[in-house]
Amino acid sequence: MKSDLVVSGGLVVFPEHTIRADIGMSGDTIDGVFPPGEVTGKQVIDAEGCFVLPGLIDPHVHPVYLDDIASTSKSAAFGGITTMAHYAYARPGNKLVDKINEFKEEGLSGSCTDFALHGGLFETLKQAEEIPQAFEMGVTSFKVFMAYAKLGWMTDDYAMAKVMDTVGQLGGMVAVHAETGLAIDYIMDKLLKEKTDFAERFLETSPDIAEGEGIFRAVSIGRLFNCPVYIPHVSSKEGVQVVRFLKNLGVKVYAETCPQYLGLTWEELKKFGPLGKVGPSIKTEEDRQALWEAAAAGLFDAFGSDHAPKDKKKSDDFFEAAYGSPEIETMLPVIWHAGVNSGIITPNRIAGLLAENTAKILGLFPQKGRLQKGADADIVIFDPAEAWTVTAANQHTNAKYTLFEGKELLGRVKKVLAGGKLLVDGKNFLGEQGKGRFLATKAGWLE
Ligand SMILES: [Zn+2]
């Protein structure tokens, strides 16, 4: 076999096994995965000593704060992510289809990598009317919030039923920020009256019980309408237990967790003050352990970054500070370090939860998600032996901070290819804005 480009000598990772192989590609497509030496290329990239993974897919991205779609795609590329699904939030007063069009246009002109979109509903009863039109535009997954009523974000059970009914009939998927919102608002009001130190008592405002209840209620409403429910950012042991219970019932629920919940605890984050304020909160060591046990046991369906770098400083008022943190570039190395290096999960699990499973859930498979003949030539070459220290200065987000500041990690993204071309080569970024394509999804339940 003759290809334009060959990635040779690496350990190629699939969800079910790892093999020593060469990958040939021509144009933007993979020609195949071959036994070593069976494919020759006009150009060869040596991946000796490295793991070779499919271009990663991040299903949970918010490119509307300090990073726009263009800068998010650059930051993502350095983290090995070559496909993203952005949340197109239609805030109160917005039309969902207008927001989808805006995100699509911004992505087509600014994104260096391929991208898809989820819709986000805030005036849910009204915006739900636009869901059939969104499907025609290639958007088949939608998010609602059960929390943040005071910000005007909360969807009540009546409106959630309407979304689940509509999406259930059309065959898509609903993502739910699952926390008992109004009870949390009451807790916050009570703490405000007590003039308390919010940083000290942050976990009380995002309790594990609220997450468990939220997940159970969201998925139960989904069951009423045969609508698959995707739970982003599961953060607690209680959340894991409820997901396990529902999965054991055979219910249509997908669960995602994020590197910040797998890699950090609130105890160690407190020193960052409002920078560590994310929703749901990063909880205790016991919760972190439970998330890892669940990941090892195959309970999670995807990892996502929840990349949402907000404009805030350590010295800001904790209560007023916005929720969110930069996560997309550190996602793979943090999960690799905490999960693979410690023997909790295998690289194969990463190829599933950060690529193949995600592609299947979003309906982007087999174009994305697996290194095989005919797939897009999106490839990550990961050096498991490079030791490095995370610091804001070596990150590409516009945020001037990272929650992993000072963390020593083993394993780093070395090269990234997207569409058969080098996107990242060591410290060099070779991407071009406007190269990314919009990918229509076919999100839904995998039988
Ligand atoms: Zn999010």
Q: What is d(CA 371, CA 55) in angstroms, rounded to the nearest whole number?
A: 9
**In angstroms, what is the span from residue 40 Cα to ligand 1's centroid?**
43
Please tell me the predicted confidence (pLDDT) of residue 103.
Answer: 98
**In angstroms, what is the span from residue 86 Cα to ligand 1's centroid?**
9
Q: Which string of DSSP letters, residue by residue, matches 99-168?
A: HHHHHHHHHHHH-SSEEEEEEEESSHHHHGGGHHHHHHTT--EEEEESS-GGGT-B--HHHHHHHHHHHH
**In angstroms, what is the span from residue 60 Cα to ligand 1's centroid?**
6
Q: How confident is the model at residue 296 (pLDDT cuts 50, 70, 90)?
A: very high
pLDDT digits (tens, 9 = 90+) for 199-231: 889 999 999 999 999 999 999 999 999 999 999
Please tell me the predicted confidence (pLDDT) of residue 130.
Answer: 98
Percent share of the chain, pLDDT over 70: 100
Q: What's the average model confidence in pLDDT over 112-127?
A: 98
Closest CA to 91 of 49, 119, 56: 119
Retrieve residue 344's tokens: 């909790």
Q: What's the average model confidence in pLDDT over 69-98?
A: 98
Answer yes or no: is pLDDT of 196 > 90. no
**In angstroms, what is the span from residue 12 Cα to ligand 1's centroid?**
31
Retrieve residue 159's tokens: 């409106």
Closest CA to 24 of 52, 9, 46, 2: 2
**In angstroms, what is the span from residue 258 Cα to ligand 1's centroid?**
10
**In angstroms, what is the span from residue 382 Cα to ligand 1's centroid?**
26
Please tell me the number of Cα atoms within 13 Å of 87 on its side-chain side: 26
**In angstroms, what is the span from residue 61 Cα to ligand 1's centroid?**
7
Please tell me the predicted confidence (pLDDT) of residue 131.
Answer: 98
**In angstroms, what is the span from residue 62 Cα to ligand 1's centroid?**
7
Please tell me the predicted confidence (pLDDT) of residue 195.
Answer: 87
Q: What's the average model confidence in pLDDT over 424-439?
A: 97
Please tell me the predicted confidence (pLDDT) of residue 158.
Answer: 98
Q: What's the average model confidence in pLDDT over 299-328?
A: 96
**In angstroms, what is the span from residue 417 Cα to ligand 1's centroid?**
26
Answer yes or no: is pLDDT of 294 > 90. yes
**In angstroms, what is the span from residue 48 Cα to ligand 1's centroid?**
36
**In angstroms, what is the span from residue 280 Cα to ligand 1's centroid?**
9
Q: How confident is the model at residue 162 (pLDDT cuts 50, 70, 90)?
A: very high
pLDDT digits (tens, 9 = 90+) for 356-369: 999 999 999 999 99
pLDDT digits (tens, 9 = 90+) for 388-424: 999 999 999 999 999 999 999 999 999 999 999 999 9
**In angstroms, what is the span from residue 364 Cα to ligand 1's centroid?**
21
Q: What's the average model confidence in pLDDT over 47-51?
A: 98
Q: What is the mean pLDDT of the chain?
A: 97
Closest CA to 126 of 156, 102, 92, 99: 92
Answer yes or no: is pLDDT of 447 > 90. no
Q: What is d(CA 59, CA 147) in angstroms, rounded to the nearest whole number?
A: 21
Q: What is d(CA 161, CA 131) in angstroms, rounded to the nearest whole number?
A: 14
C-alpha distances out from residue 372 to 124, 349, 367, Å: 40, 17, 9
Please tell me the predicted confidence (pLDDT) of residue 394.
Answer: 96
